[in-house]
């Protein structure tokens, strides 16, 4: 049984406490299907999220099977299912693949056969078997709602919470979903609570909960609804609610609650007797025990029998005692490694099926290195050196000095531009890699965390996937440009490492931004701004004021990749660079350290943002 005792959820508005849920008290037995209705803004979704544990109750207590959730902690992920209004599946996957991923993320299976059996069972239960191979992107609204339910049923939750799962559907699809929820509530003693704006198909529910301004105005069977409010039909309930304050409705309900609950219990017993509501054996026995205790009469304490003195374990009394049915074994969650591999495999599958994203990555991969290679002719020109002749005239010395300086300016500018363009373009690639990676699927992430997915497994899958992009992009950039302009330094490998690090640093930082933002558009915009400041604030084009350099440079990843690569150039080219820029260059080892710090900061921010709940209000 689920029971709420004077539950409140309070927020602060203009410095004053406001109860969005105000002293809600309910009793909901096993195998019950309840609708939560009421005018817009009355607290339906807020109450559902409070029951789910997403909104911590400010006062009162919630009880689940005689367990105080307010003191002993929330329900386990496998005990509860939450179906939000939004879609929780990826368009690139099929129905079968979506359910398979949900199963692997929430349930530990013995082998592939056991996995297939669970998937087939859920597909059949939700009527999705015939469209199992159909992509999510082509499903109708009703089919997507069925898929959302199927992805929750993989762990066989005992409490299923549905938030507006019928909104926006045509009447036929709406009735199909309500019928499906009704059937689901009849299995395994499952409680199903459904928030809905619609007052249609109320006869399919076991009870109706009416909320008004966060307070319980009614909770009874559908047949009692119109009688209680004194109206002819259900469409007149909301206008009737508005005729008096919610406090009066709450007080009125408290006077009638026990009589209405006794009627609900009588209806429930009739369903069990008729075999319509079938409870699992261990729950049925518990129900019978409770009933027997209620009907038990006090026997004569002095009455004794010879059997009471028997100590033999095989006595007739012992043999007549029925063996109690044991509850099914609890659903075991998968390991972190299993969740990681499932998430990574799903991400790769989504990436390669997203033609737009694949085309964009290929276009960037091809076009950006070509832009850099355009500077190669000037960077490949030879630089004249000072002659060692001692008897040259002053005019010859002046002409030679002018020619050497011109060569250094021309070649040094080109070399500096090539390396800085590589750094900035790889920064842009990093931003494109990660800016929407988490923010773009925030709703799905929150839903999967609620279902037991580890934020660590989720973040690791993102890091491994993005690391692959970083390596491919950076190595291709380095190799393509090297074909047109050979790096003029003792170690081309050092330059490649800096290119990888600048891409990784910007990818990590933008991943952190993506994880902290609740909107993909905000994350993308902030990431673009961050890349936009890389070139002007790096000092590669125009040196910053000396008093500004210490403030800006530590945050500019492109500066450290540019500076580290330039420090790795041979002496002649390093001198040429110094002749075209006033910006102080840092040593390569310092640049390694700072870029490494950028990567770590980005990953820490990503972990904080991934772990922090960010449900849409």
What kind and span of H or E run contains 22? strand 16-28
CA-CA distances (angstroms) from residue 572 to 212, 407, 492, 534, 540?
80, 11, 16, 27, 19
Read off the tokens for 447. 């839903």
Which residues 6+ apart lie within 8 Å of 213 measured at CB?
A: 22, 42, 43, 245, 246
SS3 67: strand
- pLDDT mean over 243-258: 91
* Poorest-pLDDT segment among 13-22, 472-481, 519-528: 13-22
> Which pLDDT belongs to residue 168?
82
- pLDDT mean over 432-445: 93
Residue identified by tokens 């609740």 is 518
> Which pLDDT belongs to residue 315?
47
> Which pLDDT belongs to residue 323?
58
Strand locations in 146-190, DSSP E?
159-163
CA-CA distances (angstroms) from residue 87 to 130, 181, 422?
20, 17, 40
Name the CA radius of gyration of the chain, rounded.
34
Q: Which residues pair with 303 in a beta bridge?
A: none
Q: Residue 601 — very low, low, confident or very high, per pLDDT cuts 50/70/90? A: very high
pLDDT tens per residue across span 300-315: 444 444 444 444 444 4
CB 515, CB 610: distance < 8 Å? yes
Residues above pLDDT 70, as percent of the chain? 87
> Which pLDDT belongs to residue 404?
63
Residue 432: pLDDT over 50: yes
- Give the residue range(s) of CATH 3.40.50.300 domains in the chain: 29-55+76-273
pLDDT tens per residue across span 64-121: 988 898 888 888 888 899 998 877 899 999 999 999 999 999 999 889 999 999 999 9
Q: Residue 33 — very low, low, confident or very high, per pLDDT cuts 50/70/90? A: very high
CB 433, CB 462: distance < 8 Å? no
Residue 288: pLDDT over 90: no
Count CA atoms closer than 13 A to 146's CA, side-chain side. 27
Closest CA relative to residue 129, chosen from 139, 121, 141, 137? 121
CB 92, CB 358: distance < 8 Å? no
Q: Residue 298 — very low, low, confident or very high, per pLDDT cuts 50/70/90? A: very low
CA distance linking residue 186 with residue 271, whole number of Å = 10
> Which pLDDT belongs to residue 617?
52
Read off the tokens for 428. 């842009």
SS3 209: strand
* Phi/psi-derived region of residue 31, left when phi > 0, alpha when psi is between -120 and 50, beta in every other case: left
> Which pLDDT belongs to residue 80?
92
Closest CA relative to residue 347, chosen from 503, 467, 432? 467
- pLDDT mean over 228-236: 90
CA distance linking residue 535 with residue 617, whole number of Å = 38
CB 497, CB 418: distance < 8 Å? no
> Which pLDDT belongs to residue 345?
97
* Poorest-pLDDT segment among 61-75, 269-283, 302-316, 365-379: 302-316
* 46-49, Cβ contacts within 8 angstroms, sequence gap of 24 or more: 46/9, 46/20, 46/21, 46/214, 47/7, 47/9, 47/21, 47/211, 47/214, 48/161, 48/163, 48/193, 48/195, 49/615
CA-CA distances (angstroms) from residue 241 to 9, 72, 114?
22, 36, 51
Average pLDDT of every residue of the chain: 86
Residue 292: pLDDT over 60: no
- pLDDT mean over 141-160: 92
Q: How many helices (H) and strands (E) does the chain have?
A: 24, 10
Read off the tokens for 96. 């079968």
CA distance linking residue 200 with residue 487, whole number of Å = 73
User: What is the DSSP secondary structure assignment for residue 74, as one 8-state letter?
Assistant: P
User: What is the DSSP secondary structure assignment for residue 135, as one 8-state letter?
Assistant: B
CA distance linking residue 37 with residue 210, whole number of Å = 5
Pick the CATH number of 29-55+76-273 from 1.20.990.10, 3.40.50.10190, 3.30.230.10, 3.40.50.300: 3.40.50.300
> Which pLDDT belongs to residue 320?
52
| DSSP sequence for 250-312 | HHHHHHHHHHHHHHHHHHHHHHHHTTSS---HHHHHHHHHHHHHHH--PPPTT---GGGG---
> Which pLDDT belongs to residue 193?
96
Alpha helices in 435-556 (DSSP H): 442-450, 455-484, 492-516, 520-532, 534-538, 549-552
* Poorest-pLDDT segment among 308-317, 450-459, 514-523: 308-317
pLDDT tens per residue across span 533-592: 888 888 777 777 777 777 888 899 999 998 888 888 877 777 777 777 778 888 889 999
Adjacency order of strands within the sheet including 215-220: 80-83, 159-163, 191-195, 33-37, 207-212, 215-220
pLDDT tens per residue across span 187-219: 777 899 999 988 888 999 999 999 999 999 999
> Which pLDDT belongs to residue 390?
62
CA distance linking residue 577 with residue 569, whole number of Å = 9
Alpha helices in 354-435 (DSSP H): 355-373, 376-379, 394-434
Which residue has better confidence, 445 or 324? 445
CB 107, CB 154: distance < 8 Å? yes
CB 363, CB 483: distance < 8 Å? no
Residue 399: pLDDT over 70: no
- pLDDT mean over 465-469: 97
């Amino acid at each position: 049984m689920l029971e709420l005792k004077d539950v409140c959820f309070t927020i602060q508005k203009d410095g004053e406490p406001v109860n969005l849920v105000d002293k809600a008290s309910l009793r909901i037995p096993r195998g019950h299907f309840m609708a939560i209705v009421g005018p817009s803004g009355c607290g339906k979704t807020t109450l559902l999220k409070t029951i789910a544990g997403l909104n911590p109750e400010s006062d009162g207590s919630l009880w689940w099977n005689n367990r105080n959730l307010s003191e002993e902690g929330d329900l386990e992920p496998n005990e509860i299912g939450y179906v939000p209004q939004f879609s929780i599946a990826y368009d690139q996957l099929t129905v079968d693949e979506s359910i398979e991923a949900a199963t692997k993320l929430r349930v530990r299976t013995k082998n592939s056969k056991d996995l297939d059996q669970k998937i087939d069972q859920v597909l059949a239960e939700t009527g999705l078997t015939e469209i199992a191979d159909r992509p999510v992107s082509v499903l109708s609204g009703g089919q997507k709602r069925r898929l959302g339910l199927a992805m929750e049923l993989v762990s066989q939750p005992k409490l299923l919470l549905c938030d507006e799962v019928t909104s926006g559907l045509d009447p036929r699809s709406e009735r199909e979903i309500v019928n499906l929820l009704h059937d689901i509530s009849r299995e395994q003693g499952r409680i199903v609570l459904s928030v809905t704006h619609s007052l249609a198909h109320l006869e399919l529910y076991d009870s109706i909960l009416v909320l008004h301004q966060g307070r319980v105005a009614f909770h009874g069977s559908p047949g009692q609804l119109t009688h209680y409010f004194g109206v002819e039909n259900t469409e007149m309930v909301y206008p009737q609610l508005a005729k008096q304050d919610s406090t009066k409705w709450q007080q009125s309900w408290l006077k009638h609650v026990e009589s209405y609950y006794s009627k609900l219990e009588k209806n429930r017993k009739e369903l069990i007797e008729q075999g319509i509501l079938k409870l699992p054996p261990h729950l049925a026995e518990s129900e019978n025990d409770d009933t027997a205790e209620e009907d038990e009469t006090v026997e004569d304490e002095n009455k004794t029998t010879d059997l009471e003195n028997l100590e033999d374990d095989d006595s007739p009394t012992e043999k007549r005692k029925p063996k109690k049915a044991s509850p099914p074994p609890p659903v075991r969650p998968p390991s972190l490694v299993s969740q990681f591999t499932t998430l990574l495999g799903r991400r790769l599958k989504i990436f390669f099926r997203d033609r737009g994203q694949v085309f964009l990555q290929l276009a960037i991969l091809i076009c950006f290195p070509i832009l850099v290679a355009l500077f190669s002719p000037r960077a490949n020109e030879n630089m004249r050196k000072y002659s060692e002749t001692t008897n040259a005239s002053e005019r010859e010395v002046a002409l030679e000095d002018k020619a050497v300086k011109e060569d250094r300016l021309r070649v040094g500018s080109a070399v500096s531009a090539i390396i800085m363009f590589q750094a900035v373009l790889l920064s842009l690639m990093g931003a494109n890699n990660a800016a929407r990676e988490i923010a773009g699927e925030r709703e799905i992430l929150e839903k999967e965390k609620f279902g037991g997915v580890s934020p660590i497994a989720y973040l690791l899958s993102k890091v491994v996937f993005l690391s692959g992009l970083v390596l491919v992009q950076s190595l291709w950039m380095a190799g393509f440009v090297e074909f047109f302009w050979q790096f003029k330094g003792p170690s081309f490998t050092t330059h490649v490492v800096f290119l990888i690090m600048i891409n990784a640093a910007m990818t990590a930082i933008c991943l952190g931004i993506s994880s902290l933002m609740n909107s993909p558009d905000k994350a993308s915009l902030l990431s673009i701004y961050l890349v936009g400041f890389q070139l002007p604030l790096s000092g590669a084009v125009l040196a910053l004021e000396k008093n500004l350099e210490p403030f800006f440079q530590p945050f500019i990843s492109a500066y450290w990749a540019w500076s580290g690569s330039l420090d790795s150039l041979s002496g002649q080219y390093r001198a040429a660079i110094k002749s075209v820029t006033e910006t102080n260059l840092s040593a390569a080892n310092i640049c390694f350290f700072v870029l490494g710090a950028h990567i770590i900061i980005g990953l820490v921010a990503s972990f904080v943002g991934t772990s922090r709940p960010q449900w849409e209000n």
